[in-house]
Structure 1
Amino acid sequence: MILVALGSRNPNKVRGTELAFRIAGLRANVVSIEPPGDLSPEPIGLDEIINGAIRRARYAIGIVRNAEFGVGIEAGIIRVKGFEEGVDVTIAAIIDGSGKVTLGFSPGFMVPRKFMNEVVRGVELNDVVSRYYGEPNIGRKYGLIGTLTRRFIDRIVLNTEAVYMALIPRMPWNTELFRG
Structure 2
Amino acid sequence: MKIVVGSKNPAKIRAVKDVFNECKVSSKDVPSDVSNQPYSDQETRQGAINRAKACIGIGEIESFGIGLEGGVMYIGKQLYLCNWGALVTPDEKIYTASGARIPLPKSISDELQLGKELGDVIDVFTKKKDVRQNEGTIGIFTNALVTRQEMFSHVVRLLKGQWEFAYKN
The answer to whether the superposition gives a TM-score over 0.5 is: yes
Aligned to 2:118: 125
Q: Is the 8 A contact 1:169 1:175 kept in 2?
A: no
Q: Does 1:110 align with 2:99?
A: no
Deviation of the 1:66 alpha carbon: 2.4
**Maintained 8 Å contact 2:37/2:117:** yes
Q: Indicate conservation of the 8 Å contact 1:69/1:96, yes or no.
A: yes
Verify: 1:80 aligned to 2:75, yes or no.
Answer: yes
* Coordinate RMSD, CA, aligned: 1.7
Paired with 2:74 and 2:127, the residues of 1 have a C-alpha distance of 26
Identify unmatched segments of 5+ residues in structure 1: none
- State the secondary structure of the residue aligned to 1:97: coil
Answer yes or no: is the 8 Å Cα contact 2:15–2:149 preserved in 1.
Answer: yes
Aligned positions, number? 169
Compared with structure 1, are the counterparts of its residues 37 and 80 closer, same or farther at alpha carbon in structure 2 (3 Å cutoff)? closer
Deviates more, 1:69-78 or 1:160-169: 160-169
- Structure 2 unaligned segments of length 5 or more: list them: none
- Tell me the distance in 2 between the aligned counterparts of 1:86 and 1:75: 13
**1:120-177 residue CA offsets vs partner (Å, 9 max, x unmatched):** 221000111110111111111111111112211110011101111112221258742x
1:66 to 1:74, Cα distance in 2 relative to 1, 3 A: same
Which residue, out of 22, 40, 50, partners 2:35? 40
**Where do residues 1-180 of structure 1 align in structure 2 (5 Å cutoff)?**
2-22=1-21, 27-36=22-31, 38-81=33-76, 83=77, 85-172=78-165, 175-176=168-169
* 2:16–2:153 contact (8 Å) kept in structure 1: yes
How far apart are the structure 1 equivalents of 2:32 and 2:166?
A: 37
Runs of 4+ in structure 1 displaced over 4 angstroms? none
Letter in 1 for 2:4: A
Cα deviation code 1:21-52 (max 9, x no counterpart): 24xxxx11111111227442111101101110
Q: Is the 8 A contact 2:33 2:47 kept in 1?
A: no
Q: Report the CA distance shift for 1:31/1:124 in structure 2 as closer, same or farther (over 3 A).
A: same
- The share of aligned pairs that are identical, in percent, is 25
Distance 1:111 1:135, change over 3 A: same
